[in-house]
Amino acid sequence: MVKPKFFFVIGPESSGSTLTARICAQVFLNVPFDSERSEEWEDDKGNRVWHVSLPSGPEATFADVNQWVRDYSESHDLHFILTTRDITLSEYSRRGRFMRRGSYEVKRHSGRAREIMLQVMSMEYPWYISSYESMIFLGKPYLDLMYSFMGVESDFMPSLRDGNLQRIQSMGLVDNLKRTMRRTLFNVRTRDKFST
């Protein structure tokens, strides 16, 4: 008896994992790409796609891959899709999206996400790496590689826009503001020094 497939789509927050999971749900389970759901999908045959950010939720909890294996390996054929994005842009995006998180916490989260992804790569289950930048740059031919990994053929190609460009532009704006503030502070100190 052939087991249903279970695709876990995991990656650091702001790594394109939601986008990738929605694509997987569309081509594998025929779930509309713009479905309101963004984390779990299942068809009537028991095939599943799960999206889990590393970390996830307001409490910033990390997935337990070993528990997934214990819970689902008997009933499903497990596969992992690991999402990556330029880590500097990912961390910058997270700091903007989750204002309560400072740079140290975000970097610590990145390190833990990396450990979990490396753990998956060391296991006996099939895995595939989906790069946000490669997806944006290469488009459909790149997605076809993921479709092949999933064992599906599809013409589906979502409309993609480069989220990195917006982040880089906002980083430039922040840098310019910081530079202006430093210059202003320097000018005020210099003026005060020479006016006394």
Phi/psi of residue 26, each to 5°? -65, -50
Q: What is the pLDDT of residue 189?
A: 64
pLDDT exceeds cutoff 80 at 75:
yes
pTM of the complete model: 0.84
Closest C-alpha among 106, 112, 113, 87 to residue 167: 87
Q: Give the pLDDT of residue 141.
A: 97
Tens-digit pLDDT profile for residues 103-117: 889 999 999 999 999
Task: Please report which confidence band the pLDDT of residue 123 belongs to, taking 50, 70 and 90 as the band edges.
Answer: very high
Average pLDDT estimate for 59-73: 96
| 139 token code pair | 């488009």
Tokens coding 5: 């497939």
**Hey, how many other C-beta atoms are within 10 angstroms of the C-beta on 38?**
13
- In sign, the C-alpha dihedral spanning 145, 88, 53, 114 is positive
Rounded CA gap, 165 and 150, in Å? 30
Nearest CA-CA partner of 41 in 26, 19, 20, 63 = 26
Nearest 5°: the CA angle 142, 150, 55 is 85
Cα 54 from Cα 182, distance rounded (Å): 36
